Chain A
Amino acid sequence: MTDTPTAKDPGGAISDFGIDTTSQSSGEAVRDYLARLRGGELGSLPALFGLGALVIVFWLLSDSFLTLDNTANLLAQGAGKMIIAMGLVFVLLLGEIDLSAGTASGVCAAVMAMHYVRSGNLLGGMGSTVFYVFVLGLVVAAGLALYMRIWVGAVMAAIAIAIAMLGVAPNAWIEMLLAVSVGTAIGVVTGFLVSKIGMPSFVVTLALFITWQGVILQFIGEGGVLGIGTEPTLFAVANGNLSVLGSWLLFLVAAGGYALVVLGEHFSRLKRGLVTMPTPLVLGKVAGVTVISALATWALTLNRSSNDFVTIRGVPYVVPIVLVVLVIGTYALNRTRYGRHVYAVGGNAEAARRAGINVSKIRASVFVVASSLAALGAIVYSSKVGSVDPQAGGLNTLLFAVGAAVIGGTSLFGGRGKVFHAVVGGLVLAVVENGLGLLKQPAAVVNIVTGLVLLLAATVDALSRRRAAVSSR
Chain B
Amino acid sequence: MSDPILEITGLNKSFGPVHVLHDVDLTVRAGEVTALVGDNGAGKSTLVKCIAGIHPTDSGRVAFNGGPVSINGPRDAADLGIEVVYQDLALADNLDIVQNMFLGRERGSGWLLDEASMEKAARDTLASLSVRTVKSVRTPVASLSGGQRQTVAIAKSVLWESKVVLLDEPTAALGVAQTRQVLDLVRRLAEQGLGVVLISHNMADVFEVADRIATLYLGRMVAQVPTRDVTHAQVVELITAGRSGDLGLARPESATV
B124 touches A344 (CB 8 A): no
Partner of A415, one of B91, B94, B103, B113: B94
Contacts of A354 in B (CB 8 A): 54, 74, 84, 86, 90
Nearest chain-A residue to B108 (Cβ)?
Answer: A337
Given contacts A336-B112, A337-B110, A356-B104, contact A16 B132 (CB under 8 A): yes
Query: Closest A-chain residue to B104, C-beta based?
Result: A355
Given contacts A2-B124, A7-B128, contact A343 B95 (CB under 8 A): yes
Residues of A with C-beta under 8 A to B94: 343, 346-347, 415-416
Bits for A326-353, please: 1 = Cβ < 8 Å to B, else 0: 0000000001111011011011101110
In the complex, are the beta carbons of B128 and A2 less than 8 A apart?
yes
Interface residues of B (CB under 8 A from A): 54, 74-75, 78, 84, 86, 88-95, 99-100, 103-106, 108, 110-113, 115-116, 119-121, 123-130, 132, 134-138, 142-145, 158-162, 192
Cβ contact of B116, chosen from A1, A3, A269, A350, cutoff 8 A:
A269
In the complex, what residue of chain B is closest to A11 when comparing beta carbons? B127
Interface check A10, CB cutoff 8 A: yes
Asked if A7 contacts B127 (CB within 8 A), the reply is yes
Can you list 21 A-B pairs, Cβ within 8 angstroms, ordered by A?
A2-B158, A4-B128, A5-B128, A10-B124, A10-B128, A13-B127, A20-B137, A20-B138, A272-B116, A275-B136, A337-B108, A337-B111, A337-B113, A343-B95, A344-B92, A348-B90, A351-B91, A356-B74, A356-B105, A415-B93, A415-B94
The proximity string for A residues 412-432 relative to B, scoring 1 for CB distances below 8 Å and 0 otherwise, is 000110000000000000000
Task: Tell me whether A13 and B110 are in contact (CB under 8 A).
Answer: no
A50 within 8 A of B: no
C-alpha spacing A453/B119, complex, angstroms: 40
Query: Closest CB of chain A to B26's CB: distance in Å?
Result: 21
Instruction: Tell me whether A337 and B106 are in contact (CB under 8 A).
Output: yes
- The chain B residue sitting closest to A469, CB to CB, is B142
Decide if A343 touches B92 in the complex (CB within 8 Å): yes
Which chain B positions have C-beta within 8 A of A343? Answer: 92, 94-95, 99
Asked whether any CB of chain B lies closer than 8 Å to the CB of A39, the reply is: yes
A19/B136 contact (C-beta < 8 A), A355-B105, A468-B142 known: yes
Minimal beta-carbon separation of A446 from chain B (angstroms): 34
Which partner residue on chain A sits nearest B143 by CB separation? A472
- Bound together, the chains give a CA A337 to CA B112 distance in angstroms of 7
Q: A6 near B: Cβ within 8 Å?
A: yes
Q: Are A272 and B120 in contact (CB under 8 A)?
A: yes
A203 to chain B, nearest CB (A): 26
A128 at the interface (CB under 8 A from B): no
Whole-angstrom distance between the Cβ of B49 and the nearest chain A Cβ: 10
Given A275-B136, A354-B86, A355-B105, check contact A6 B74 (CB 8 Å): no
How many of chain A's residues have a CB under 8 angstroms from any CB in B? 44
Measured between beta carbons, the chain A residues less than 8 angstroms from B95 are 340, 343-344, 347
| With A2-B125, A17-B137, A472-B142: A275-B92 Cβ-Cβ less than 8 Å | no
Q: How far is the CA of A3 from the CA of B83 in the complex (A)?
A: 14
Q: Which residues of chain A are near B145, meaning CB under 8 Å? A: 473
**CA–CA, A10 and B125, complex, Å:** 10
Tell me if A274 and B120 are in contact (CB < 8 A). Answer: yes
Q: For the complex, would chain A's binding face be called helix, strand, loop or mixed by DSSP majority?
A: helix
- Which residues from chain A contact B84 at a C-beta distance below 8 Å? 354
Does A444 sit at the interface, judged by CB under 8 A?
A: no
Q: Is A357 an interface residue (CB 8 A)?
A: yes
Min CB–CB distance A418 → chain B (angstroms): 12
| Residues of chain A contacted by B86 (CB below 8 angstroms) | 354
Given contacts A17-B137, A351-B91, contact A274 B127 (CB under 8 A): no
The 3 closest A-B pairs by CB, nearest first: A355-B104, A347-B92, A13-B127
Given contacts A20-B137, A335-B111, 14 further A-B contacts (CB under 8 A): A1-B124, A2-B159, A14-B123, A17-B123, A17-B126, A19-B136, A274-B119, A336-B111, A338-B110, A340-B99, A341-B104, A343-B95, A343-B99, A352-B92
- Which one, A4, A275, A352, contacts B158 given CB within 8 A? A4
Contact B110 A336 (CB under 8 A): yes
Contacts of A340 in B (CB 8 A): 95, 99, 103, 106, 113
User: A59 to B146, alpha carbons, bound, how many Å?
Assistant: 50
Please tell me which one of the listed residues B111, B124, B144 contacts residue A472 in the complex, with CB atoms under 8 A apart: B144
Contact B93 A347 (CB under 8 A): yes
CB pair B130–A351 under 8 Å, yes or no, is no
B104 and A2 contacting across the interface, CB-CB below 8 Å: no
Residues of B contacting A396 in the complex (Cβ-Cβ under 8 angstroms): none
Q: How far is the CA of A5 from the CA of B104 in the complex (A)?
A: 24
CB–CB B113/A335 < 8 A? yes
A35 CB → nearest B CB, Å:
9
Q: C-beta contact mask, A243-271 vs B, less than 8 Å → 1, else 0?
A: 00000000000000000000000001100
Pick from B90, B106, B120, B142 the residue with the most CB of A within 10 Å: B142
Q: Are B143 and A471 in contact (CB under 8 A)?
A: yes
The residues of A that contact B121 with a CB separation of less than 8 Å are 1-2
Contact A7–B103 (Cβ < 8 Å): no
How long is the Cα–Cα vector from A471 to B143 in the complex, in angstroms?
A: 7
Contact partners of B128 in chain A: CB under 8 A:
2, 4-7, 10, 13
Q: Is the CB of B130 within 8 A of A13?
A: yes
Which residue, of B89, B143, B159, B160, has the highest number of chain A Cβ atoms within 10 A? B143
Of residues 71 through 119 on chain A, the ones whose CB sits less than 8 Å from some CB of chain B are none
How many angstroms from the CA of A4 to the CA of B192 in the assembled complex?
A: 6
A5 and B92 contact, Cβ closer than 8 Å, known pairs A10-B127, A20-B138, A340-B99? no
Give per-residue flags for A274-291: 1 if the beta carbon is below 8 A from chain B beta carbons, else 0.
Answer: 110000000000000000
A352 to chain B, nearest CB (A): 7
Chain A residues with Cβ below 8 Å from B127 are 6-7, 10, 13-14, 16-17
Per a CB cutoff under 8 Å, which of B92, B111, B134, B138 touches A351?
B92
Q: A341 to chain B: which residues have CB within 8 Å?
A: 104
Proximity string of chain A (350-369) to chain B, C-beta cutoff 8 Å, 1 when within and 0 when not: 11101111000000000000
Chain A residues whose CB sits within 8 angstroms of the CB of B89 once the complex forms: 351
A415, B144: Cβ atoms under 8 Å? no
Q: Are B113 and A336 in contact (CB under 8 A)?
A: yes
B130's partner among A7, A335, A347, A355 (CB-CB below 8 A) is A7
